[in-house]
Structure 1
Amino acid sequence: MTGKAPSKSAKGTKAIAAEPILLSSGNPQIAKGDGDAPVQAYIAAMPGWKRDLGMRLDALIVRIVPDVRKAVRWNSPFYGVEGQGWFVTFHVLTRYVKVTFFRGMSLRPIPPGGTKRSKEARWIDIHEGDEFDEAQMAAWMTQAATLPGWIP
């Protein structure tokens, strides 16, 4: 793990960490929270080239869905439409960033990642050096934001 561990105050309680801790996969450990601030904290803590990708994804989503609802859940940023649920999330893994569409089977074309166990969800794994197809990602985001989303 990288990042600073929380320090102890004089009374022995944990203080807030100066930097988010990165889990063994490199995924930032960010507390559950609603709104833009926890999502921006997650993106700022993404390591290396993944941070730039996180910023691009976030900007693309906001451009397509200006009133997007944001939150961090399970150490990942989630994006949704009020009253419709979450339509997309992304997650840092050791060698790539996984962008998951909760209703991916309804997108055209269907994103490439998925298994029988993933039901409706489909994803795309983006590795360092991969060409980022912004037009295709925008098309998926546009479609996904109009569908009923995932409600935990």
Structure 2
Amino acid sequence: MPGWKQDIGARLDSLIARNAPKARKAVKWNSPFYGIEGQGWFLSFHVFNRFVKVTFFNGASLKPMPPGFTAKSKETRWVDVFEDGFDEKQMATWVKQAAKLPGWMP
């Protein structure tokens, strides 16, 4: 992860580990994925030029719902994280909720 995105990635990884301690990690398509064994993947993030996109695979069930979606995204929701950071309290709430829900099973 280049530049400031490396710090964001480390902060996200640490936040996920604290709030979903049973989560397992894998790298698919150059992106870290987080999941609970037997439940599937609940979160992934991916680096873009101007932001890091944090995707919740069952995000439509989160309260409040993360803001990003399209008509085709169905249950998936995301939040774009820019250089000035992110709301760690809100992200922690979403991670805790997402880790309890059924995830994406490829």
Please indicate the TM-score interval, normalised by the length of the shorter structure: over 0.9
Counterpart residue number, 1:136: 90
Q: 1:45-83 CA deviation, whole Å, 9 max, x = no partner?
A: x00110000000000111111121110011110000000
Helix, strand or coil at the partner of 1:78: strand
Q: Distance in 1 between matches of 2:83 and 2:105?
A: 31
Amino acid at match of 1:141: V
Matches within 5 A, 1:82-97: 82-97=37-52
Helix, strand or coil at the partner of 1:58: helix
Counterpart residue number, 1:121: 76
The number of aligned residues is: 106
Q: CA RMSD in A?
A: 0.7
**Which structure would you say has the larger RCO, counting Cα contacts within 8 Å and 6 or more residues apart?**
2
Counterpart residue number, 1:63: 18
Give the structure with higher Rg (CA): 1
Moved over 6 A (4+): none
1:108 aligns with 2:63: yes
Identical aligned residues as a percent:
67
Q: Distance in 1 between matches of 2:68 and 2:22?
A: 28
Gaps of 5+ in 1: 1-45
Helix, strand or coil at the partner of 2:69: coil
Q: Normalising to structure 1: TM-score of the pair?
A: 0.68
1:74 aligns with 2:74: no
